[in-house]
């Protein structure tokens, strides 16, 4: 899709089934490489990134079946240990095949992942974690070449300049499951997606303690087996719809959504004037006030406010009463959407890593350009409350 045309002025009122979490599903697929047995993953979202990851798995020699929302990775072994530039360069998350491949097969060659419009996203923590387990990694011709005669458990600190890393944590964790001895990962990412991957690894036969905490203790095993797993609901999709209900003064029931995965956002939305009711099958969200109130937000690693909802919450702040401040602690350059929101009549001033937003009663529709997925969602949300039509291009 190249263009979305959004007509403002409508309330979002419906029941929405939340999809499976992409950021859990991608490393889950990679984790199946740790065993030659068959595995099944359900509640898979229908996304291009999922198809890309399956192409990578297939290119390595593993056969897969993808039907509806279910993926089956069939029994078999990897026959090609090179993940090519043509595939890896299109999706940064594909670097998570590095840990499983070198752990099970002792070597692999994975293309250096591509860049990102939201700012630098180095892979130093990935290499740090794997090197601590005994992997020799060098970069040649744009590829990461990894070799290890044997993985040995170790104590590893994975804290980075902007906090912990989800993908570096799961890459190191997956490799550690087949390492000899005990591995202790400190400053591990605690996101629900990491917990989901960890639970899958345990189903495969891994011995992991401290699940959901910053300290993961892994006792290596000789081999893993296949398993079945249901992907958790996508908390970013959930949060985007929650903001959509509030910004349009509508009411949505989000089927399958989990409040525990979105506590930071729920806290802010309640202060802004929203009602969020937790039901056995999902979340009910609507506004209790006619006006939405300003908020001060700082992005952090989980359980803090997620950077992947920063752009969306900014759209809400644009039509809130008062002055809001949003400070980006994860990706300080992730503010490309500000200029486009200002084109729609927003009043946003950027001071270093902090956006200062003076709320207005409404926005105006305008032609806008989207830079990335979350910025696209933010512009759609802004268009829903804008006067006239908003053209959101380059989706």
Count, residues in the chain: 395
- Dist CA 184 CA 299 (whole Å): 27
For residues 356-381, one letter each, b for 16 or more C-beta atoms within 10 angstroms of the residue's C-beta and e for the rest, the string is ebebeeebbbbebbbbbbbbbbbbbb
Residue of 116, 317, 318, 325 marked catalytic: 116
- Dist CA 289 CA 280 (whole Å): 25
- Dist CA 323 CA 343 (whole Å): 19
- Which of 14, 106, 93 has its CA nearest to residue 52? 93
Label residue 161 exposed, middle or buried (CB < 10 Å: 0-12, 13-18, 19+).
Answer: exposed
Q: Where are the alpha helices (H) located in 46-123, listed in sequence order?
A: 48-59, 85-88, 98-105
Please confirm, yes or no, whether 108 is among the known catalytic residues: no
Whether omega for the bond prior to residue 202 falls within 30 degrees of 0, making it cis, is no
- Dist CA 2 CA 46 (whole Å): 18
DSSP structure class, residue 233: B
Alpha-carbon Rg for the chain, nearest whole angstrom, is 22
Q: Name 395's Cβ contacts closer than 8 Å, sequence gap at least 6.
A: 1, 2, 3, 4, 370, 376
- Dist CA 91 CA 167 (whole Å): 13
Q: Which residues are catalytic?
A: 116
């Amino acid at each position: 899709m190249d263009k979305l045309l959004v007509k403002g002025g409508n309330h979002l009122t419906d029941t929405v089934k939340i999809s499976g979490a992409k950021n859990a599903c991608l490393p889950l697929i990679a984790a199946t490489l740790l065993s030659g047995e068959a595995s099944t993953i359900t509640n898979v979202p229908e996304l291009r990134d999922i198809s890309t990851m399956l192409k990578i798995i297939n290119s390595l020699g593993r056969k897969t079946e993808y039907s509806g929302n279910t993926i089956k990775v069939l029994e078999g072994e990897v026959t090609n240990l090179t993940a090519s530039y043509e595939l890896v360069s299109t999706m940064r998350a594909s670097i998570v095949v590095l840990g499983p491949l070198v752990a099970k097969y002792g070597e692999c060659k994975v293309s250096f992942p591509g860049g990102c419009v939201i700012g630098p996203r180095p892979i130093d923590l990935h290499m740090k974690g794997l090197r601590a387990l005994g992997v020799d990694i060098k970069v040649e011709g744009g590829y990461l070449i990894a070799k290890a005669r044997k993985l040995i458990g170790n104590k590893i600190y994975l804290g980075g300049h902007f906090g912990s890393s989800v993908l570096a944590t799961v890459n190191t964790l997956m490799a550690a499951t087949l390492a000899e001895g005990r591995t202790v990962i400190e400053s591990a990412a605690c996101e629900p997606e990491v917990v989901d991957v960890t639970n899958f690894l345990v189903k495969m036969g891994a011995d992991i303690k401290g699940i959901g905490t910053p300290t993961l203790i892994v006792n290596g095993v000789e081999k893993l087996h296949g398993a079945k797993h249901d992907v958790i609901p996508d908390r970013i999709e959930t949060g985007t719809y929650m903001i959509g209900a509030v910004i349009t003064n509508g009411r949505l029931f989000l089927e399958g959504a989990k409040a525990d995965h979105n506590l930071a956002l729920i806290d802010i939305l309640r202060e802004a004037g929203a009602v969020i009711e937790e039901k056995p099958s999902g979340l009910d969200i609507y506004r209790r006030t006619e006006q939405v109130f300003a908020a001060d937000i700082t992005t952090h690693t989980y359980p803090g406010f997620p950077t992947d909802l920063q752009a969306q919450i900014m759209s809400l702040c644009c039509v809130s009463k008062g002055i809001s401040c949003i400070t980006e602690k994860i990706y300080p350059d992730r503010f490309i959407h500000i200029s486009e929101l200002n084109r729609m009549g927003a009043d946003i001033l950027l001071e270093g890593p902090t956006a200062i937003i003076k709320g207005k009663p409404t926005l105006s529709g305008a032609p806008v350009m989207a830079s990335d997925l979350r910025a696209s969602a933010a512009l759609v949300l802004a268009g829903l409350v804008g006067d006239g039509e908003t053209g959101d291009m380059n989706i």
